[in-house]
Amino acid sequence: MRRGGSGWSYRAPAGRTLSGLVGVAALVAGARIGGGRSRVLWTTAVLPDIALLYGIEAAPTFERLPRYAVRPYNVLHSPVVPAALLTLAALTHSRRTAVAGLGWLGHIGVDRAFGYGPRRPDGTR
Would 118 be classed as within a structural domain? no
pLDDT score recorded for residue 125: 83
Would 107 be classed as within a structural domain? yes
Would 23 be classed as within a structural domain? yes
Would 119 be classed as within a structural domain? no
Would 2 be classed as within a structural domain? no
Per residue of the chain (125 residues), what is the pLDDT tens digit?
344 445 567 889 999 999 999 999 999 999 999 999 999 999 999 999 998 888 787 776 667 888 899 999 999 999 999 999 999 999 999 999 999 999 999 999 999 999 999 999 988 88
Q: How many distinct structural domains can be found in the chain?
A: 1
Would 68 be classed as within a structural domain? yes
Q: Taking a C-beta distance cutoff of 8 angstroms, is the pair 29, 37 a contact?
A: no
Q: In whole angstroms, what is the distance from residue 62 CA to residue 45 CA?
A: 20
Contacts of 85 (CB under 8 A, 6+ apart): 97, 98, 100, 101, 104
Q: Taking a C-beta distance cutoff of 8 angstroms, is the pair 59, 66 a contact?
A: yes
Domain that holds residue 51: 13-113
